[in-house]
Amino acid sequence: PRHHGDRAHPLPPRSGLGVRQGLAVALCLASCGSSAASSDPPVDAMVVDLARAFDGPLADAADASAADASPVVPFVREGRSWQLHQVDPIGGAPIFPTLAIGPAGPAVAFRKGTPDERYPVVSRWDGAAWSPPETIEREADIFLGKRPALVVDRDDGLHLIYYNEDATRLRYATRPAAASTWTLSYPYDEPGADAGDNAVLRIDEQGRLHGTFLRYGVYHTIYGVQEDGRWRFAPLSRDGVPVKTYEATLAVADDGRAHVVYADDQERIYYAHGGLAGWTHEPVDLETPEIGHYLDGALDPAGQMHVIYLQWTRDHPSVWVARRAGSWQTEQVDTELGIAYAAALTVLDDGTEL
């Protein structure tokens, strides 16, 4: 069965390739600056979660570069240079990195730990270096802190949701900018519900939090909104009936309208927009076989949705992008990628997809 972490859930079988977990690294655009003398926050900074399994073309290229001492730099775009910053020099099994940009600059959350315990941490960029990772909570549990999702509000407060496979509960952690400790709660506390994996968290222009996550067993994507400190949740539904899903990604428009792209139990991808009052659905990709893995999406300046996803086949794993421009257009990103493990997408102000 297909799953995304430490413990397999009883997902109905789908085709896919088992690949080795690659190295997660943080990359920063050159525009974020690396001078210790700079006091301006790197508002253009980005983190790319790069997971590579060294098989096929990448392995051949790596072997070749080792022979001539030249670096392997896949996907070079003319006019754009990159700087590498190590977030956590201590290490400790870091996994599931996620990035958010706030008024004081970037923040990154990830899970780290030991063979006996794992836990969520957050680090901030001060213009010259990343701060030592700050532990949100810690207990002797190797299943704590899975798939964290992070946002920073307009006052530079931090908000994080994540999953604990042992407790099978969604956790919400928040820390205002002036506070020194985190406040923890369990906003979705349905009795007996195994919920919280595949979490996505966004914030709209009014400061409202929006989130999606998977509820196992029934395989529903749960959508929630926090307003005035109170969360409200409902499953993603079509004509009043909850939709059976494997994965979903979320983007939120300035007016608070939610945009969700999800993969259903037939390996088809759909787009839905709306909110707790109801959703409008339309197909995205019903033809490409064995798709929908590791969805991620974003809105462009015109409010149109873009989404990236993986196709896992035994013959040719690949990465695809779909974009909505009147109708949906799909495109394979790189035919020479080889084995792909994870993907992320953002859209710049000029409409460029990264």
Instruction: Note the pLDDT of residue 49.
Output: 37
Model confidence over 197-220: pLDDT tens digits? 999 999 999 999 999 999 999 999
Please give the pLDDT value at position 52.
Answer: 27
Integer Cα distance of 167 and 163 in angstroms:
8
Q: In what order do the strands lie in the sheet with 118-124?
A: 95-102, 105-113, 118-124, 134-135
Q: What is the DSSP letter of 290?
A: S
* DSSP conformation class of 192: T
Task: Kindly list the distances between the CA atom of residue 46 and the CA atoms of 21, 275, 323, 332, 347, in Å, as whole numbers in the listed order.
Answer: 22, 29, 21, 23, 12
What pLDDT was estimated at residue 128? 86
pLDDT at 225: 98
The set of residues, in sequence order, having a beta carbon less than 8 Å from that of 321 and lying 6+ positions away, is 306, 307, 308, 330, 331, 333, 345, 353
User: ∠ CA 123-128-131 to the nearest 5 degrees?
Assistant: 20
Residue 2 structure tokens = 């297909």
Mean pLDDT per 10-residue segment, the chain (354 residues) = 44 33 31 35 35 31 36 48 77 81 93 85 90 87 85 96 85 94 92 91 96 95 94 95 94 95 92 96 90 91 94 78 92 74 88 91
